[in-house]
Amino acid sequence: MSGQRMQRAKDKIEVMRKWSLKSRDLCLPHLIPLSRQPLLLEYNSKMAPISFKVNPEFAQISELVPRLFICGVSALSPANMKAFKISLIVNATKEVPNLKSLGEIQRIKLWVDDTTDEDLFPHFDIVADQIHAVIQDGGNVLVHCVAGVSRSASICLAYLTKYHFRSLRAAYHLMCSKRPMVRPNLGFWRQLIHYEQLIKGNAGSVRIVRDEAQPDKLLPDVYLKNVIPERVPSPDRYEKLDEPRERQHSGARPKFRPVLEPLTEIAEAAA
């Protein structure tokens, strides 16, 4: 192993050691509930405090479908865990530890950053299946990141696409109706589109397009104000359309004869 690779491996091990999930490395978080004040999570004396600036509106816990909840870090309190009867917490961050104060709730921690080059794809299917298993057993699942906007939303979209909706687009529209601020980054959208293609066997219901206001910027078309709706007819519609098509194409086909508007009328309309 080269010197650089060895150093990277050592750095990764050091990060994992610092953010160990052992309960002795954690203590109660100190939350500052004032509007737009930083959220401080303090650990033991060996670790420096970490500060997060979290918009208060992101602190709410949103129920996307029965038994599946999403939130930001500032909603992580023992009272909320009890009120929502949470039995599994999916922590989709590198920077937020699994908090001891939340009790003996089952945890899944994903060591991911909110960057466009972060590889979240390998987690989609495994975590979606785990969420589904817990919900099927009657449990409630909470997925969180720092703001409840990008990383946690991407994990929830993977689950919703696989188990609740025929398409990623439909899953996003449902999520947006429940939590309007959700906005996964472009890299996560590319991975979600690929995931939908694999599990649904389609070409993908969401497209990456250029923003007309900023031509050098790419974004998923669901972020546009005027989005072309998904054109995926249901099986019933296919059955109704197939029969008249067959009758139309049987026998001699009438010759197409275009009807031309008089030039004077076009000129008047333009005027």
Which of the residues are catalytic?
145
DSSP the chain: --HHHHHHHHHHHHHHHHT---GGGB---B---STTPEEEE-B-TTS--EEEE--GGGGS-EEEETTEEEE-GGG--HHHHHHTTEEEEEE--SSS---GGG-S-EEEE----SSTT---HHHHHHHHHHHHHHHHTT-EEEEE-SSSSSHHHHHHHHHHHHHT-SSHHHHHHHHHHH-TT----HHHHHHHHHHHHHHH-SS-S--EEE-SSSTT-EEEGGGSSSPPPP----HHHHHHHHHHHHHHTSSPPPPP---PPPHHHHHHHH-
